[in-house]
Copies of this chain bind each other. A is one copy, B any other.
Amino acid sequence: MTNVNAFLDSVKFDKEGLVPAIAQDARSGKVLMLAYMNRESLEITLKEGKMCYWSRSRKELWRKGATSGNHQEVKEIFIDCDGDALVFKVEQTGGACHAGYDSCFFRKVENDGSFKIVGEMTFDAEEAYRKK
């Protein structure tokens, strides 16, 4: 991206310096996950072409796939009308969810309020996150 700063400057980060980033499967259109980026992680995402989030729980840069190998290669980026949310169409390796599913939204809410597992198990989470 030749003029990264023009884009970065137009993103409205919240008071904690974060913007929600939706990762959507470029092929199927399935929503894979919602996580957050700060300016630095967004800059890294643009530079490296792979999703890098800011982990709010660990308070550190989160290069998706660094441990599991389940990278998300960026194909297209969209910004919303208010500039305070981003959609990334990505090519997902393995699966997006730490639980082993293709998408983090693997639970459908049924009419009785219960959850039904509808996600596809696409990798062995235990193996992927084993300390290497």
A residues in contact (CB < 8 Å) with B: 1-7, 10, 20, 22, 24, 28-31, 33-34, 76-82, 85, 87, 97-99, 101, 104-109, 111-115, 118
Contact = CB atoms under 8 A, between A and B. Distances in A.
A98 B78 contact: no
Given A1-B112, A81-B104, A34 B20 contact: yes
Given A1-B109, A80-B105, A80-B107, 4 more contacts: A1-B112, A1-B113, A78-B109, A81-B106
How many chain copies does the complex carry?
Answer: 2
- List 6 tightest A-B contacts by C-beta distance, closest first: A29-B29, A3-B113, A78-B105, A77-B109, A7-B113, A80-B104
Nearest to A31: B87
Nearest to A110: B1
Contacts of A87: 31, 105
Q: Which of A4, A31, A111 has the most CB of B within 10 A?
A: A31
A111 B3 CA distance: 8
Given A33-B80, A79-B109, A80-B34, A114 B3 contact: yes
Contact of A115 (B79, B105, B107, B115): B79
A2 B111 contact: yes
A85 B34 contact: yes
